[in-house]
Structure 1
């Protein structure tokens, strides 16, 4: 009688390559950040053509965030590098946009400071609890991202005054949801640490 090991399938550990489509889109988003920033600076937020170009670049870069996450989950391309690089790319894009909008007096500085402080704080919080578990993005977090992207896009696009007046209301909604989800993530992190002790 031969050993049972001959008929027992040996599970194969599949290593996900770091260089894949999902991480490639994340890298593209990072590359587009300085391109977007240059377009905004050249536009001086007064040249409609360059403003439109900056807005389109921002929209394309934002879209890669949705696509890379879907590809990573759908095709099993989730990597440690992607988990770290993806939020960094997100914060770099929205952070650059908000800083530039504030610099050109389109967005109050306090809004930029509040949102960026929350974003950086939650990113640090995720790393603080990463060994104990992952704080998954909630529906509120996704709504927050969507509102921020919509508000920034609204500010970037050259609009008549009547339409432009809607932008602050969208941003106000983004601020409220951003702060609310921030408190929720803090509560999740504290529960996660207590549960793992």
Structure 2
């Protein structure tokens, strides 16, 4: 879920896969089951546990921002990182959306739309991988930000009913941007697919 940088669009560096950026990515992956366990602990709607679940989600989201910046600024972009970073992002978001839907805090149609968009963009990137990389657009980064804030607010809904309308504002905005950028990704992928293959020379 990089907000400013998109290491997937950078060529891998000779840096070892054992570096701090990749360590943060692995740490984020390990936080996903922790987040799920805390989210479903107790009744699933206990205030204290929900605050803890939000804290775990927030830490994971922050590590995503940090590892992307480190990878670029310190020349730590690796093949492992380019593969693991989006997996960690989608695992965290997917676990949060599905978990909230299972707990009846978020309608399933929202989860389906969001996950379909994420899977679709990933498949598009693989579809054109021989011709180039589709880096994250500004709209995609905005979607990530809105989606993260919305999920965090939905996790905190047990704190008070006043949070729900605010959470929905961010989620609706995230959905609009997600659909719009999804269409843009399709157009960019089609243009890239029609382009000639890069020369092997």
1:196 partner SS: coil
Q: Kindly state the Cα deviation for residue 43 of structure 1 after the two structures are TM-superposed.
A: 4.4
CA distance in 1, matches of 2:121, 2:43: 32
TM-score with structure 1 length normalisation?
Answer: 0.90
Residue of structure 2 equivalent to 1:118:
117
Residue of structure 2 equivalent to 1:161:
161
The 5 Å alignment of 1:41-190 reads 41-157=40-156, 158-190=158-190
CA distance in 2, matches of 1:161, 1:113: 24
CA distance in 2, matches of 1:44, 1:63: 27
Any stretches of 5+ residues in structure 2 without a counterpart? Answer: 1-12
CA distance in 1, matches of 2:68, 2:43: 33
CA contact (8 A) 2:38 2:49 kept: yes
Larger Rg: 1
2:104 partner SS: coil
Task: Report how many residues are paired.
Answer: 184
TM-score with structure 2 length normalisation?
Answer: 0.88
1:135 partner SS: coil
1:107 partner SS: coil
Q: Kindly state the Cα deviation for residue 159 of structure 1 after the two structures are TM-superposed.
A: 2.9
Q: Kindly state the Cα deviation for residue 95 of structure 1 after the two structures are TM-superposed.
A: 0.3
Residue of structure 2 equivalent to 1:193:
193
1:165 partner SS: helix
Any stretches of 5+ residues in structure 1 without a counterpart? Answer: 1-13
C-alpha distance 101-23 of structure 1, shift in aligned 2 (>3 A): same
